Structure 1
């Protein structure tokens, strides 16, 4: 998955569930990340990117919060494939 897609999908999960960027930063540190709190806040706001290692630590922190809350949404890892909703190359709408 490319970094822009991962950032957008992770940000959507964070917004959807009202997760706190400060808390995610602390959890991301526990999971091996070393980005600053401001870097995490900027990433969550879509203002800056992060290296794959940092994105994945943050995604794992987000996913742990979602699992604890019992919600199905998950943030993707950098190694996650981006799956299209429709595999038909003609698009999502049938021909008329």
Structure 2
């Protein structure tokens, strides 16, 4: 998955579930992430980028939080395949 897609999808999960970025940052750091809380806020707002290791640590923090709360959406990892998240239609003009 490219960086822009991962960033957009992770940000969407955070926004949809109204996750607390301060708490996510603490979980991110406990998983080995080393970006500052401000950088994580900027990343989630689409204002900066992160290397794959940092993006994946944040996705893991988001996913662990979602799992603990029973929330359905999950953030993708850098090696996630986008087409698995959104199955392609056989007919591009079909709504099925």
**In structure 2, the residue corresponding to 1:91 is in which secondary structure?**
coil
Map residues 81-92 of structure 1 onto 2, 5 A cutoff. 81-83=81-83, 84-88=86-90, 90-92=91-93
Structure 1 gap segments, 5+ residues each? none
The superposition leaves residues 42-74 of structure 1 with CA deviations (integer Å, 9 ceiling, x where unpaired) of 001111111000000000000011101111210
Q: Which residue does the alignment assign to 1:79?
A: 79
| Cα distance in 2 between the residues matched to 1:52 and 1:87 | 29
* TM-score, normalising length: structure 1: 0.91
Q: Which residue does the alignment assign to 1:20?
A: 20
What is the number of residues matched between the two proteins?
A: 93
Q: Which residue does the alignment assign to 2:44?
A: 44
Normalized per residue, the structure richer in helix is 2
The superposition leaves residues 13-67 of structure 1 with CA deviations (integer Å, 9 ceiling, x where unpaired) of 0000000111111110000110011100000111111100000000000001110
Runs of 4+ in 1 over 4 A off after TM superposition: none
Structure 2 gap segments, 5+ residues each? none
Q: Give 1 or 2 for the bigger CA radius of gyration.
A: 1
